[in-house]
């Protein structure tokens, strides 16, 4: 299998600068039913607290992410601005969608619609959330999902091959990640306000909602099969989003940091879920900043908290083949301490694409436990 990395694709773009199955889990009530609103679920979170409670935006964890500027984070913001030049849908043949958020910030997304999609042949919608730091469109090249959007089986219906692919573009904001990803492109999964009735709804969640709605408004989406996926920082938000968005049928993500308690998060929380969205999470045995260890613990926590939630946690080696456990030598929570994990993190597991598609296909919204 020939792997391509984010670094390789960016070099081509003239920019110089990476299983154990777990079945279980449920909602914020004692029965794991997921019946609370996002606000109630967040407020009821009984996490260990924060290292600086004075600055924590209870009940949603951290405050909304600060926007990155060219001078943010010892110049990390300048790197983000440079890489943002490549966030153009035309570079990968996508249609550009636009929306302006509540802070009057222009938001965009790339849309790929197979030629067979129509009001009479409705197709699944797969929402792909980018990994942070690197521009979004090239990540679809790495995953190979643009050509697969015309052929992959997400329905079990031979008359409806393919899926509609939606790629929302992240923002330049502050992340609780090491330099240069501390002020970079990506998503704010630390401010966990997914309460759609709140005027202070997470801006990234609002943008994803809007772009999904725009595509659904065309009448070409099989609403029983709206799925979430993502890479790295995008995978973390995809999990948080899926667990608190009833219309998402299932999620399949790659290399997600723990979305409620990542290693540098000052306002971590106990995981909460308001809908039992089945989740498949693939991560490397040796992964960046100890992601295998922290993500595995996250899913164990979910299993204890929400026994009705279906999960499939898959650990892979450097060849993206399934193994049984994390590599203890790769538990470092620093960039410098885990060079092999950094590289593994930058390689999408193409050999696992069919497994991800199978997971999604087998979990339509109509089969989801409420």
The DSSP output letter for 50 is -
The rounded distance, in Å, linking the Cα atoms of 321 and 330 is 17
pLDDT recorded at residue 15 = 30
pLDDT recorded at residue 147 = 94
The rounded distance, in Å, linking the Cα atoms of 238 and 309 is 16
Of the candidates 328, 232, 240, 244, the one whose C-alpha atom is nearest the C-alpha of residue 282 is 232
**Burial grade of 278 (CB within 10 A; 0-12, 13-18, 19 or more):** buried
pLDDT recorded at residue 9 = 37
Q: Can you list the alpha helix ranges (DSSP code H) found in the chain? A: 6-12, 38-43, 72-84, 137-143, 145-148, 203-216, 233-242, 291-305, 339-345, 353-361
pLDDT recorded at residue 23 = 35
pLDDT recorded at residue 142 = 87
pLDDT recorded at residue 77 = 62
Of the candidates 329, 336, 219, 239, the one whose C-alpha atom is nearest the C-alpha of residue 282 is 239
Could you read off the pLDDT tens digit of each residue along the chain, which spans 370 residues?
334 444 443 333 333 333 333 433 333 444 455 557 888 888 887 666 666 777 787 789 998 998 877 666 666 666 666 666 667 888 889 999 999 999 999 899 999 999 999 999 999 999 999 998 888 888 888 899 999 999 999 999 999 999 999 999 999 899 998 888 888 889 999 999 999 999 999 999 999 999 999 999 999 999 999 999 999 999 999 999 999 999 999 999 999 999 998 878 888 899 999 999 999 999 999 999 899 999 999 999 999 999 999 999 999 999 999 999 999 999 888 777 778 988 999 999 999 999 999 999 999 999 998 6
pLDDT recorded at residue 79 = 64
Quote the pTM value.
Answer: 0.89
pLDDT recorded at residue 22 = 40
The rounded distance, in Å, linking the Cα atoms of 56 and 59 is 8
Own/partner pairs for 324-332, CB < 8 Å, 24+ apart? 324/19, 324/20, 325/20, 325/285, 326/285, 326/286, 326/292, 326/293, 326/296, 327/285, 327/286, 327/292, 329/286, 330/285, 330/286, 330/287, 330/290, 330/292, 331/290, 331/292, 331/293, 332/289, 332/290
The rounded distance, in Å, linking the Cα atoms of 23 and 313 is 8
pLDDT recorded at residue 80 = 64
């Amino acid at each position: 299998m020939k792997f391509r990395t984010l670094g390789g694709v960016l070099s081509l773009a003239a920019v110089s600068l990476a299983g154990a199955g777990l079945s279980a889990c449920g909602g914020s009530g004692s029965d794991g039913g997921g019946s609370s609103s996002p606000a109630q679920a967040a407020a009821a979170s009984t996490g260990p607290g924060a290292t600086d409670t004075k600055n924590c935006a209870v009940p949603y964890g951290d405050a909304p992410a600060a926007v990155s500027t060219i001078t943010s984070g010892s110049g990390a913001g300048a790197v983000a601005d440079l890489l943002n030049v490549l966030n153009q849908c035309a570079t990968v043949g996508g249609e550009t969608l636009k929306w302006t958020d509540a802070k009057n910030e222009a938001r965009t997304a790339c849309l790929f619609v197979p030629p067979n999609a129509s009001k009479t042949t409705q197709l699944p919608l797969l929402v792909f959330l980018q990994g942070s730091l690197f521009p979004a469109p090239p990540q679809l090249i790495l995953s190979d999902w643009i050509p697969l959007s015309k052929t992959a089986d997400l329905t079990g219906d031979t008359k409806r091959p393919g899926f509609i692919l939606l790629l929302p573009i992240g923002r330049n904001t502050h992340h609780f990640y090491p330099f240069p990803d501390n002020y970079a492109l990506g998503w704010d999964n630390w401010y966990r306000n997914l309460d759609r009735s709140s005027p202070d709804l997470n801006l990234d969640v609002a943008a994803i909602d809007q772009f999904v709605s725009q595509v659904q408004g065309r009448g070409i989406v099989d609403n029983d099969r709206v799925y979430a996926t993502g890479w790295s920082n995008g995978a973390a938000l995809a999990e948080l989003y899926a667990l608190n968005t009833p219309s998402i049928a299932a999620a399949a993500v790659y290399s997600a940091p723990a979305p409620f308690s990542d290693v540098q998060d000052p306002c971590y929380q106990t995981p909460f879920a308001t809908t039992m969205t089945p989740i498949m999470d693939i991560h490397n045995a040796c992964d960046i900043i100890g992601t295998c260890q922290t993500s595995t613990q996250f899913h164990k926590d979910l299993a204890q908290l929400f026994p009705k939630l279906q999960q499939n946690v898959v650990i892979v080696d450097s060849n993206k083949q399934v193994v049984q456990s994390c590599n203890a030598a790769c538990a470092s929570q620093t960039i410098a301490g885990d060079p092999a994990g950094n590289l593994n993190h930058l390689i999408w597991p193409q050999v696992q694409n069919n497994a991800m598609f199978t997971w999604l296909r087998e979990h339509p919204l109509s089969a989801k436990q409420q």
